[in-house]
Amino acid sequence: MAIGSAASCTPTAADDGSATSLPGLEHPLLHAYGGEARAKEPAEPDHEAQSFGPEPGGGASFVRTCFNGLNALSGVGLLSIPYALKEGGWLSLALLLVVAAVCCYTGQLLQRCMEAAPAVRGYPEIGELAFGRGGRLVASAFLYAELYLVAIGFLILEGDNLDKLFPGTRLGVLGGVVVSGKQLFVVLVALVILPTTWLRSLAVLAYVSASGVLASAVMVVCVLWAAVADGVGFTAPGTRMINVGGLPTALGLYTFCYCGHAIFPTLCNSMKEKKKFSRVLVICFAACTLNYGSMAILGYLMYGDDVQSQVTLNLPEGKISSKLAIYTTLINPFSKYALMVTPLATAIEERLLAGNKRSVNLLIRTLLVVSTVVVALAVPFFGHLMALVGSLLSVMASMILPCVFYLKIFGVARCGRAEVALIAAIIALGSLVAATGTYSSLKKIIHEF
């Protein structure tokens, strides 16, 4: 798929700077806001709390922006990519390439929308530029829901992997009730993470969460080491070329791997030479696709149809490579959980005008954490949950909404026929993935009960 960087239409939306910042979601995955929440003016971003903001002297360099983009796209989706390949079969790797190309292209559409109105800084503001307040609310709703469900996924992931490290752990409570290892670890992790959601500045956590690129590379090396040196090998039985019934789940997980569009406006604004952002996207998507593809092939060759929703759960027990992989897996969720929950908490606080009430803020954030624990305990199915996030929320934020916003801002009549046809095809593909993937994921979650 050809990916260009130059806008091929003339914008119809006026650059009046009317888009207003949505508190807490301007940079949803990269930083939290410091200081008291303010109801009358946008909160100032805590640039110290994230390594993705402008550098002194006018903006981030091309190389640094590439690193930031790689970090944004490198996440827990790497653990589920072998499971996605198992669900779809070998030929579904072609769909991984298609999803990567489509998401890269829609990222460039967001860049063009921002060029039409330089005052726009965040993803929700692009929605407002296109459809007014309604567009901003729709974009915000999908992004907040995505952040919330990913935070739940983090708790499930932590519980599963800690149970792998400490099998057989259980705790008896009052009334003879026994709490199993996974449930116990989910609660314990939430208790450890809870104080991080109370922090005013998340600088330390943001720097730790910036280790996503390194963590992804370490994960691939550990899985490869388990195959070569720890005796797992590459001869797993049961691999198949295509599994039509599993394609919706595979597509949902593939899309989840590329759900970085919420922060692309932030990365673009942070660049010293914003015109080169399209090249940044191409490099980041190509590198991440290589990494995701490598992990998918390794995991599927090693475990075949026995591969679990997180490949770390398949690794042999007691081996150094397995422990290193699991420890690496555990670090990022610990640091990123607060970065996920804080934008949602900030928005609720400002909606309730509770910015200057410390006790109310603590209560809101605590209740948010408790709610994620309840859902994680009720729906402890990491693979199915991430497939649902990818199918329903990531598809909307990464495929459908960028196309719809772009056509509204620039106008269908002013765009070339080929471009309109391409965008229409992407919207159709996204709608198909959203419908089939959401149905399939919900069906599997219900079946687990």
What pTM does this model have?
A: 0.84
**Do the beta carbons of residue 426 and residue 105 sit within 8 Å?**
yes
Above 50 in pLDDT, residue 422? Answer: yes
Counting Cβ atoms within 10 Å, is residue 141 exposed (0-12), middle (13-18) or buried (19+)? middle
Q: Given CA atoms 294, 441, 387, 445 in this order, what sign does their dihedral have?
A: negative
Give the pLDDT of residue 258.
95
CA 329 to chain centre: 15
Q: CA 430, 92, 313: angle at the middle one, nearest 5?
A: 105
In angstroms, the CA 251 to CA 324 distance is 29
Averaged pLDDT score across all residues of the chain: 84
264 is written with which tokens? Answer: 């692309």
* Sequence-distant (≥ 6) Cβ neighbours of residue 8 within 8 angstroms: 415, 416, 419
The CA distances from residue 159 to 79, 185, 190, 232, in Å, are 14, 5, 10, 24
For 253-310, the pLDDT digits (tens) are: 999 999 989 889 988 988 999 999 999 999 999 999 999 999 999 999 999 999 999 9
Give the pLDDT of residue 150: 92
Phi, psi (5° rounding) for residue 357?
-110, 95
What is d(CA 26, CA 267) in angstroms, rounded to the nearest whole number?
11
- Tell which phi-psi region holds residue 304, choosing left (phi > 0), alpha (psi between -120 and 50) or beta: left
- Residue 172 sits at φ, ψ, to 5 deg, of -85, 135
pLDDT of residue 220: 94
Phi-psi label, residue 371: left if phi above 0, alpha if psi -120 to 50, beta otherwise: alpha
Give the DSSP per-residue string, 209-240.
HTTHHHHHHHHHHHHHHHHHTSS--S--S---
Residue with tokens 């030479």: 273
In Å, how far are 43, 132, 166, 171 from 190, measured between CA atoms? 27, 38, 17, 16
The identity of residue 200, as a single letter, is R
Residue-wise pLDDT for 159-198, tens only, equals: 999 998 888 888 777 666 778 889 999 999 999 999 999 9
Tokens for 88, please give them. 């779809």
Delineate the domains of the chain, giving CATH numbers in brackets. Answer: 59-448 (1.20.1740.10)
Report the distance separating Cα 383 and Cα 299, nearest Å. 15
Q: What pLDDT is stored for residue 373 in this prediction?
A: 96
Going by pLDDT thresholds of 50, 70 and 90, the confidence category of residue 157 is: very high
Which residue, among 413, 380, 407, 434, has the nearest Cα to 252 in the 3D structure? 434
- pLDDT at position 27 over 50: no
At 326-385, the pLDDT tens digits run: 999 888 788 789 888 888 888 888 888 766 688 888 999 999 999 999 999 999 999 999
Task: Check if the beta carbon of residue 365 is closer than 8 Å to that of residue 337.
Answer: no
Place of tokens 């981030």: 60
Task: Look at residue 48 and tell me whether its pLDDT is greater than 60.
Answer: no
Is the pLDDT score of 431 beyond 50?
Answer: yes
Predicted local distance difference test score (pLDDT) of residue 128: 95
- Give the pLDDT of residue 221: 95
Q: How confident is the model at residue 207 (pLDDT cuts 50, 70, 90)?
A: confident
- Mean pLDDT, residues 203-220: 80
Look at phi and psi of residue 293 and say left if phi exceeds 0, alpha if psi is from -120 to 50, else beta: alpha
- Count of H-run helices and E-run strands, the chain: 17, 2
Which amino acid, one-letter code, is at 378? A
Q: How is 36-51 classified by DSSP, letter by letter?
A: ---SSSPPPB-GGG-T
8 Å CB contact between 397 and 439: no
Structure tokens at 173: 């409570």
Q: Could you tell me the pLDDT band of residue 98, with boundaries at 50, 70 and 90?
A: very high
Q: What is the pLDDT of residue 58?
A: 54
**What's the rounded Cα separation, in Å, for the pair 388 and 392?**
6
Question: With the C-alpha atoms ordered 219, 222, 228, 231, is the resulting torsion angle positive or negative?
Answer: negative
User: What CA–CA distances, in Å, run from 243 to 10, 234, 238, 250, 269?
Assistant: 43, 20, 12, 10, 42
- Report the candidate in 67, 341, 16 with the shortest Cα–Cα distance to residue 190: 341
